Amino acid sequence: MRPVTRNALVAIVGVLAVLLALGALPAHIATGDPYYVEATAADAAGPAVAGENLSERRFPYSFGAVAAAEAGADPARSEAYYSGVVGFKAAFTHTPFEEFQEFETRAPDAVDRRGEGPVGDVAHLGVNGTRYRLTVVRVSGGEG
């Protein structure tokens, strides 16, 4: 193999390894205070995103919180999402904020964005005949 070909192959493999690391490693970054999606059964009737039309794999934070609520957990929270260093992780991983943006696209009346940033955003999700109030919360200092 000629040196030019070998160097080109090494460079291509190196670039592929870096791209693979960028795609895989950010999911394991756990810095800063965690964000959770918290679910509570909503008492009043109103608009809600139809959960029966959604994939639990596409909305793991929301459905994780609903599953915790159905199991009687208090508080009923999803798995933690850590934003990572200066928001770097959000460019490469799925976030609960993207789930709320998708809910707003599907049913704008079911989402209330009066909170500061993503914390305090509220979405209503209908699952198995129950309307759930989903909220993005940030827990500081290891309260989670």
Residue 45 structure tokens: 């009737």
Answer yes or no: is pLDDT of 89 > 70.
no
pLDDT value of position 77: 94
Same domain, 51 and 20: no
The pLDDT tens digits for 36-79 are 999 999 988 889 999 998 999 999 999 999 999 999 988 999 99
B/e letters for 49-62, b = 16+ CB within 10 Å, e = fewer, are bebeebeeeebbbb
pLDDT value of position 135: 93
Residue in the structure block whose two tokens are 């490469």: 92
What is the span of the domain harbouring residue 19? Answer: 1-29
Same domain, 36 and 10: no
Residue 106 structure tokens: 């599907």
The pLDDT tens digits for 98-121 are 999 999 999 999 998 876 677 778
Same domain, 35 and 102: yes
125 - beta bridge partners? 49, 132
Please give the model's pTM, rounded to 2 decimal places. Answer: 0.76
Instruction: State what percent of residues in the chain have pLDDT above 90.
Output: 50
Same domain, 25 and 36: no
Can you give the length of the chain in residues?
144
